[in-house]
């Protein structure tokens, strides 16, 4: 197999994603069908009141058909609200049956009306229009097309039976139903696209900054294609996490991590970074992919600065509630990585791999040895604008690398990495 061709696992993942999307659309269609059920009952009540107020009243056949239809509508409403979950297969067939029954009902009632000599062109047109609008929330698309055809056909049958087909008003109503059908079709497509876009945006913003997610959506599927690029990687973890968690219940540990990661993730994304993954008490973040950034090193170090500040605020909150303070270590390194989607058939994620990731992890581990909370490799430090607030700390051997890594740290009290012109912190 050509290395550039998708693997079987990738193909299965694509099929799985398609099935998930169809399931979500089916669930949305079920919600729409429940709303239609209530609209159907309202239509029955409206036409029932109007029929009983007319001098001609209703025929026995109209009453029987109306009673059967009403009973079915009530049963359908009950069944739809009792249904816990829809399926794509049912979503493909159920609306066709319901639409056929709806159009058969209004067609038969129109014919019965004509038999009584009380044919009302406007009422027949409104009935067809109401049932046509039921399709606005249906999925798949052929339900809408079916209703677009059935609505004018139903009206034509009724008018033909009443001998009113050659009337100018009849032609106008038929044209109106056709126009309404296209409006329903366009609206259905627009709502579906919007729903799909919201889903994609929600999924992307779970690990990408919102502005990056927007650009990824604009560029399409190729935006997350594999690339090799220079990026800046940040690793962080909580010091003494094991000893802290030993004195807590599992739920308390999860709440603590949720609060901590929630704050740190917002900082990363606020600086145009990507939250790669959480690993126990560790966080992996990176800058420069999938959206290319010229100042990725600067953004990463600024994020580390703000993570330090956020930790001080978090610890103040914890101390106010009698909880132990947290300490973290942060390691930052700039280098070349391969970035793209990984995960196989059931769960995929956008990630980075390469020597730069390993070095960033090793640099973070060295914060314990040097007693600092932030360590920055020379490759990252070299990309920061002069003048810089920080200092050369050491040249350290890192497992897996022949050459030592020169390390810098930023002042523990500094609020910024770069020295400001007014000398402020």
| pLDDT tens readout for residues 177-219 | 999 999 999 998 988 888 777 777 776 776 666 656 776 777 7
What percent of the chain lies above the pLDDT cut of 70? 86
Res 354 pLDDT > 80: yes
Place of tokens 């303070």: 325
Largest CA distance in the chain: 100
Give residues with Cβ within 8 angstroms of 406, minimum separation 6.
377, 378, 381, 392, 394, 395
Res 2 pLDDT > 60: no
What per-residue confidence (pLDDT) applies to 176?
A: 96
What per-residue confidence (pLDDT) applies to 97?
A: 94
Distance CA 202, CA 196 (A): 10
Which pLDDT tens digit goes with each residue over 86-115?
Answer: 778 888 888 999 999 999 999 999 999 899
Distance CA 8, CA 28 (A): 30
Res 285 pLDDT > 90: yes
Distance of CA 275 to the CA centre of its chain: 17
Domain parsing of the chain, residue ranges: 8-204, 222-409
Number of CB atoms found within 10 A of residue 161's CB = 17
Residue 309 backbone zone (phi > 0: left; psi -120 to 50: alpha; other: beta): alpha
Contact 70, 46 (CB under 8 A): no
What per-residue confidence (pLDDT) applies to 56?
A: 63
Contact 34, 138 (CB under 8 A): no
Which pLDDT tens digit goes with each residue over 359-396?
Answer: 999 999 999 999 999 999 999 999 998 878 888 999 99
Which pLDDT tens digit goes with each residue over 300-336?
Answer: 999 999 999 999 999 999 999 988 899 999 999 999 9
Nearest CA to 357 out of 337, 371, 339, 340 is that of 337
Which pLDDT tens digit goes with each residue over 201-211?
Answer: 776 776 666 65
Contact 268, 332 (CB under 8 A): no
Which pLDDT tens digit goes with each residue over 18-68?
Answer: 666 677 778 888 888 999 999 999 999 988 888 777 666 678 888 899 999
What per-residue confidence (pLDDT) applies to 412?
A: 60
More confident residue, 59 or 129: 129
Q: What is the mean pLDDT of the chain?
A: 85
Place of tokens 């999307």: 21
Distance of CA 23 to the CA centre of its chain: 14
- Which of the following CATH numbers is that of domain 222-409: 3.40.50.2300, 2.40.50.140, 3.30.70.1230, 3.30.428.10? 3.30.70.1230
- What's the token pair of residue 330? 């942060």
Distance CA 83, CA 389 (A): 63
Res 278 pLDDT > 80: yes
Contact 106, 113 (CB under 8 A): no
Contact 134, 99 (CB under 8 A): yes
Q: What share of the chain is helix, strand, coil (3-state, %, to 5)?
A: 60, 15, 25
Contact 269, 210 (CB under 8 A): yes
Tell me if the pTM is above 0.75: no
What per-residue confidence (pLDDT) applies to 16?
A: 55
């Amino acid at each position: 197999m050509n290395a550039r061709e998708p693997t079987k696992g990738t193909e299965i993942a694509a099929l799985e994603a398609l099935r998930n999307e169809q399931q979500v659309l089916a669930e949305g269609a079920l919600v729409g069908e429940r709303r239609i059920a209530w609209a159907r009952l309202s239509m029955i009540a409206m036409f029932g009141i109007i029929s009983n107020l007319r001098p001609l009243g209703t025929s026995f056949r109209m009453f029987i058909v109306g009673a059967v239809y009403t009973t079915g509508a009530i049963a359908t409403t009950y069944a739809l609200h009792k249904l816990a979950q829809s399926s794509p297969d049912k979503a493909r067939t159920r609306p066709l049956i319901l639409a056929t029954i709806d159009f058969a009902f209004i067609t038969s009632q129109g014919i019965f009306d004509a038999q009584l000599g009380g044919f009302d062109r406007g009422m027949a047109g409104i009935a067809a229009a109401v049932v046509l609008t039921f399709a606005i929330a249906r999925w798949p698309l052929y339900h809408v097309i079916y209703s677009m055809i059935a609505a004018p056909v139903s009206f034509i049958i009724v008018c033909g039976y009443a001998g009113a087909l050659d009337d100018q008003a009849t032609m106008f109503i038929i044209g109106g139903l056709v126009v309404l059908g296209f409006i329903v079709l366009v609206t259905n497509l627009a709502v579906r696209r919007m729903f799909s876009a919201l889903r994609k945006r929600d999924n992307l913003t779970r690990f990408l900054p919102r502005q990056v997610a927007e650009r990824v959506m604009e560029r399409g599927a190729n935006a997350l294609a594999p690339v090799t690029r220079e990026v800046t990687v940040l690793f962080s973890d909580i010091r003494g996490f094991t000893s802290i968690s030993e004195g807590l219940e599992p739920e308390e540990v999860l709440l603590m991590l949720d609060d901590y990661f929630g704050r740190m993730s917002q900082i990363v994304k606020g600086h145009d970074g990507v939250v790669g993954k959480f690993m126990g008490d560790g966080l992996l973040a990176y800058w420069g992919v999938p959206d290319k950034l010229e100042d990725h090193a600067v953004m990463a170090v600024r994020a580390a600065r703000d993570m330090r500040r956020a930790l001080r605020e978090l610890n103040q909150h914890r101390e106010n509630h009698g909880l132990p303070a947290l300490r973290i270590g942060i390691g930052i390194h700039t280098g070349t990585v391969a970035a793209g989607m990984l995960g196989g058939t059931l769960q995929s994620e956008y990630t980075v791999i390469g020597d730069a990731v390993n070095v960033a992890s090793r640099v973070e581990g060295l914060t314990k040895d040097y007693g600092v909370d932030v360590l920055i490799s020379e490759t990252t430090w070299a990309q920061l604008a002069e003048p810089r607030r920080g200092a050369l700390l050491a040249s350290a051997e890192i497992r897996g690398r022949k050459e030592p890594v020169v390390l810098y740290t930023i002042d523990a009290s500094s609020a910024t990495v770069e020295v400001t012109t007014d000398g402020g912190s």
